[in-house]
Structure 1
Amino acid sequence: MATPDFIRDLRLSAGHQLLYLPGVTAVVFDGRGRVLLGRRADTGTWSVIGGIPEPGEQPADCAVREVFEETHVRCVAERVVSVHGVEKPVTYPNGDVCQFMDITFRCRAVSDDARVNDDESLEVGWFALDALPPLADFAVFRIKQATQDGPAWFEGMPGA
């Protein structure tokens, strides 16, 4: 994800030290039940779509915005899938360290013309759930949670 301006400004005084930040993930399904994924420019790996809300931006609005910015797909956030304080900090190649409080949304595509729409993605595409490319465990977990009905998942709930 591209670094938002407000975080760049924070980094001027905070340096590379740990920042605890909000994050959103969008698990987007089309009318055929396929999930939208992007191959990230920073790591070269496939993943669900995500980003950081701008100050004052609602999390669901951020999810919808990030999906369009990265994939050119228009979508609607349908429900919260999970709320999760990610345990491990992420250290970026420039030395910046972040840890995220992720809110994952299940989204429904209202257009399915997926294409690379910014410099954060190398490829984007729709994948059948039984034909996913290699994904990190967190992405597989979020997709699985998005396919299930019921309440949002959170750490510490029964069965978690």
Structure 2
Amino acid sequence: MATPDFIRELRADIGTQLLFLPGVTAIVFDDEGRVLLGRRSDTGRWAVIGGIPDPGEQPAETAVREVYEETAVHCVPERIVLVETRDPVTYDNGDVCQFMDVTLRCRAVGGEARVNDDESLEVGWFARDALPPLEEFGLTRIKLAVDDDPTWFAPAAPQDV
């Protein structure tokens, strides 16, 4: 995956220590209710589409940009599905990151699904009952995007009063 320049610049100063970053995930559905997935070039696994916002970029803008960059599909964000701080991740090079993910349900409005950059090996539309193997991260977000429940977030711990 391409590391944004602003993160490379930060890493030059902080090394591999923990870096807290925003992340945006887009769960994109077409008119048939199929979900858009990409097979990642770094892991070879199928996954939902997402990425890191550019400085100053709103989550909905990130979703639209990432979906187009990776799949050539145009989409419109419809609602927030989930807000969650993930456990820290240590990458092969030793960098440690922790992401706060904002997941948006999106509707495809144009474009033809295809590999549009070097981050994906394949892209495609999948019926929800015929998904390829996905990590729990993607499965949970797809389920929440299908449900019409309120935005999911972890409850706050009780405070002593």
TM-score normalised by L of structure 1: 0.94
Q: CA deviation at 1:155?
A: 1.1
**Structure 1: where are the runs of 5+ without partners?**
none
> RMSD over aligned Cα, in angstroms?
1.1
SS, match of residue 12 in structure 1: helix
**Aligned twin of 2:159:** none
**Amino acid corresponding to residue 28 of structure 1 in structure 2:** V
CA distance in 2, matches of 1:61, 1:91: 27
CA distance in 2, matches of 1:118, 1:139: 21
**Aligned twin of 1:121:** 120
Q: How does 1:47-58 map to 2 (within 5 A)?
A: 47-58=47-58
**Amino acid corresponding to residue 83 of structure 1 in structure 2:** V
SS, match of residue 68 in structure 2: helix
Deviations 1:47-106 (A, max 9, x none): 0001000110001100110000000000000000000011x2112222211110000000
Q: How does 1:3-152 map to 2 (within 5 A)?
A: 3-86=3-86, 88-152=87-151
**Structure 2: where are the runs of 5+ without partners?**
157-161
CA distance in 2, matches of 1:97, 1:76: 32
CA distance in 2, matches of 1:46, 1:146: 18
CA contact (8 A) 1:21 1:98 kept: yes
Deviations 1:27-50 (A, max 9, x none): 000000000000111111110001
CA contact (8 A) 1:30 1:112 kept: no
TM-score normalised by L of structure 2: 0.94
* Matched-pair identity in %: 71
Q: CA deviation at 1:139?
A: 0.6
Give 1 or 2 for the bigger CA radius of gyration.
2
Q: CA deviation at 1:2?
A: 1.8
SS, match of residue 10 in structure 1: helix
**Amino acid corresponding to residue 135 of structure 2 in structure 1:** A
